[in-house]
Structure 1
Amino acid sequence: MTSPSRRQRVPRAIRERQMIQIAEEVFASRGYAAASMDDIAERVGVSKPMLYEYFRSKEGLLAACIAQSRTELREATELAVAGAPSAEEALRRGLRAFFDFVRERRRAWSLLRHEGSLIGTSVWAEIEVIRQQHADLIVKSMADHFETGSLLRVEAAAEFMVGACERLAIWCERNDEVTPEQATNYAMEILWKGLSGRVR
């Protein structure tokens, strides 16, 4: 007969996802410095050594949380811009996907927004990968719509957009009545003016 411990064993991938989900909640509510591995382990229902077996350190666990959010944000943005008929529509769809993510995934956004300055290089690297992925996606989704020789201009605009949209998202946090649609419209009013004259 199967023992109770075997019946209750959770596959590693599912257990890891549970750990990341709980850790995201704790990091977002308490901040990285105040969060404890003991508390996270207790909430997940595992031992603290198991957390360290999976992630090696608290910083490693936070990096895993950010990597998960990075994947989800990238997938949402790629899905949003797929098949866009024009550069303007691709930009609008991508912006909307970002602001929807900020509104719907507040805990994940909180980690990206607050924790980078508190910890070491591995998490900074994760955050920088997120920014670069978004800049690259903007370039990829819009470059074919612009005049030959304008790629550097598109790349520069993409880098600008990533930074500007982060700041706009922070402003939206202070003005919770601003919807993702409104934030997208505000961003389009400013960003598209600098690009529209270069469209084929």
Structure 2
Amino acid sequence: MPRAERERQMIQVAEAVFAEHGYLAASMDEIAERVGVSKPMLYEYFRSKEGLLAACIAQSRAELREVTERAVIGAASAREALHSGLLAFFRYIGEHRQAWSLLRNEMMLIGTTTASDEIEATRQQQTDLIAKLMDGYFDLGSPLRVEAAAEFVVGACERLAIWCERHEDVTPEWATDAAMDLLWASLRDRVR
């Protein structure tokens, strides 16, 4: 099997094991067994369990960036861009529960490690994307205000996504509408 394909396979299985057991309880032995490789091979690819977790998070970050960027391309208005970006985020979380589980749960367990840096890089990636979007569509007064607004959106959407997990009947569309109701009310008068 080509190295890149084997690596994707290892990451996919590790994501499932980490989501099932949590990072601390997950075992490299179990991951290796499920993949059908030796434990030393996992270490050869990722150097450590934390390195494997970081690779899982980095992959999720890349996927999330791709879907959210793609969602806002060609938006005809500020409202459409904001709605499309939020919907892409909530759909990604709904369709990638294991990846979301890593982003949501592991930040409490790991502390200041490579994996927590990957989680923060994911947050920063989304903040930068939202700031760019907001700066293009809204007059918020200053770059500092744009950055603060983007941080607010990311934080609010993370908390709403966590809340959604407790309410299985809440769809990505419902979550998007709820977020839009609050965000659009404060932004619509600032459209450029």
- TM-score interval w.r.t. the shorter chain? over 0.9
Q: Deviations over 1:95-152 (max 9, x none)?
A: 0001001110000000000011212421111111111111111121231222384443
Deviation at 1:45, TM superposition (A): 0.7
Specify the alignment match of 1:156 in structure 2. Answer: 148
Specify the alignment match of 1:137 in structure 2. Answer: 129
SS where residue 118 of structure 1 aligns?
helix
User: Does 1:32 pair with 2:23?
Assistant: yes
Question: Are the aligned partners of 2:140 and 2:146 in contact in 1 as well (CA < 8 Å)?
Answer: no
Partners in 1 of 2:137 and 2:33 — Cα distance?
A: 52
Which residue of the other structure, out of 48, 62, 65, is the alignment partner of 2:56?
65
Question: Are the aligned partners of 1:100 and 1:180 in contact in 2 as well (CA < 8 Å)?
Answer: yes
Partners in 1 of 2:150 and 2:139 — Cα distance?
A: 16
User: Does 1:90 pair with 2:81?
Assistant: yes
Gaps of at least 5 residues in structure 1 are 1-9
Partners in 2 of 1:55 and 1:45 — Cα distance?
A: 16
Which residue of the other structure, out of 92, 100, 112, is the alignment partner of 1:109?
100
Partners in 2 of 1:107 and 1:192 — Cα distance?
A: 30
- Aligned residue pair count: 191
Fraction of identical pairs, as percent: 71
SS where residue 115 of structure 1 aligns?
helix
Deviation at 1:90, TM superposition (A): 1.0
Which amino acid in 2 is paired with 1:111? Answer: L
User: Does 1:170 pair with 2:162?
Assistant: yes
Partners in 2 of 1:49 and 1:85 — Cα distance?
A: 52
User: Does 1:188 pair with 2:180?
Assistant: yes
Specify the alignment match of 1:127 in structure 2. Answer: 119
Q: CA RMSD in A?
A: 1.2
Specify the alignment match of 2:65 in structure 1. Answer: 74
Q: Deviations over 1:59-84 (max 9, x none)?
A: 11000000000000000000001111
TM-score w.r.t. the length of structure 1 is 0.92
Which amino acid in 1 is paired with 2:124? Answer: Q
Specify the alignment match of 2:189 in structure 1. Answer: 197
Partners in 2 of 1:118 and 1:147 — Cα distance?
A: 39
When structure 1 is superposed on structure 2, of 118-127 and 88-97 the one drifting more is 118-127
Partners in 2 of 1:138 and 1:148 — Cα distance?
A: 13
